[in-house]
């Protein structure tokens, strides 16, 4: 057995950069035909080009994940082009740092909409295709160690990721009857644009030096390691492959050994 995905058909949301881009490229490298999702073509051009440069096959899948009708159309088009679906990676996500008194209801709703409702809508739209794929099917949600965070200002993000973990367990039971597997990957801090932006916000709010805060927090794990997106894509490929055939209803943490005070991660990008 190996991690080959030859003949697999995959849809990756938020695949324009960061973790989503790395997962899309890695799965194509292993032989999958990949539908690369982004809000616009310009956001995913580099991912499509990277897959093509390595001899892989990819198609664009465009939709604003805040738009339910756009999600339905995107999924319908992707399924038609791919001829079905074996692997779904719900990666796209957003964040905002706000305490309860200053967070607007609009911000709260937006975070839960993209991070929790959109994965449900995407999954719902491709549900029949996953059942048709049966034991070849694997659904992966990119969650976060933030789901269990007790960190000032991250309430909406943590709530959205905690909800994602709960939904994963229920979906795993639903699809398990058809042989399909459903899991979450919970990253720690990963070196991406989103992580840089989050640290700029946190450093500004705390009145501390950005570079010092970034370097300290990004390596704030037991291995003192700087995690890169391929550390998450390696796990995603494993779960989607034959090697992960008996793993379901699990949240698999990839964080280098989280330490107190480094609870929040970077996950996807929509």
Residue 262 has pLDDT above 50, yes or no: no
Average pLDDT of every residue of the chain = 94
- Reply yes or no on whether 157 is catalytic: yes
Report the distance separating Cα 158 and Cα 28, nearest Å.
31
Of the residues 95, 157, 167, 214, which is catalytic?
157
Radius of gyration of the chain (CA): 18
- Highest mean pLDDT of the ranges 97-101, 238-242, 256-260: 238-242
pLDDT tens digits, 196-223: 998 998 888 889 999 988 988 899 999 9
pLDDT tens digits, 31-81: 999 999 999 999 999 999 999 999 999 999 999 999 999 999 999 999 999
What tokens does 117 get? 């409702």
Q: Name the nearest CA neighbour of 266 among 202, 195, 165.
A: 195
Ordered by where they begin, the domains of the chain are 9-189+230-254 (3.40.50.720)
Distance of CA 215 to the CA centre of its chain: 23
pTM here is 0.95
Is residue 200 a contact partner of residue 207, using CB atoms and an 8 Å limit?
A: no
Report the distance separating Cα 155 and Cα 38, nearest Å.
26
């Amino acid at each position: 057995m190996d991690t080959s995905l030859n003949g697999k058909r995959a849809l990756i949301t938020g695949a324009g950069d960061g973790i989503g881009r790395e997962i899309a490229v890695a799965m194509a490298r292993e032989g999958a035909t990949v539908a690369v999702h982004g809000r616009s073509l310009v956001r995913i051009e580099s991912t499509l080009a990277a897959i093509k440069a390595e001899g892989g096959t990819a198609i664009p899948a465009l939709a604003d994940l805040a738009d339910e009708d756009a999600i339905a159309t995107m999924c319908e088009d992707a399924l038609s082009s791919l001829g079905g679906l074996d692997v779904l990676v719900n990666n796209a996500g957003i964040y905002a740092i706000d305490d309860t008194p200053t967070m607007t209801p609009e911000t709260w709703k937006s975070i839960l909409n993209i991070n929790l409702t959109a994965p449900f809508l995407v999954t719902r739209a491709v549900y029949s295709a996953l059942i048709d794929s049966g034991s070849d099917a694997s659904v992966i949600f990119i969650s976060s160690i933030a789901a269990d965070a007790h960190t000032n200002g991250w309430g909406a993000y943590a709530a959205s990721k905690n909800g994602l973990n709960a939904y994963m367990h229920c979906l795993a039971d639903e699809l398990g009857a058809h042989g399909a597997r459903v899991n979450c990957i919970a990253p720690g801090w990963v070196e991406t644009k989103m992580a840089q932006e989050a640290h700029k916000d946190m450093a500004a709010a705390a009145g501390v030096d950005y570079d010092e805060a970034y370097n300290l927090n990004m390596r704030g794990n037991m291995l003192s390691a700087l995690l890169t997106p391929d550390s998450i894509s390696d796990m995603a490929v494993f779960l989607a492959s034959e090697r992960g055939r008996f793993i379901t209803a699990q949240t698999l943490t990839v964080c280098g050994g989280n330490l107190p005070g480094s609870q929040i991660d970077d996950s996807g990008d929509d």
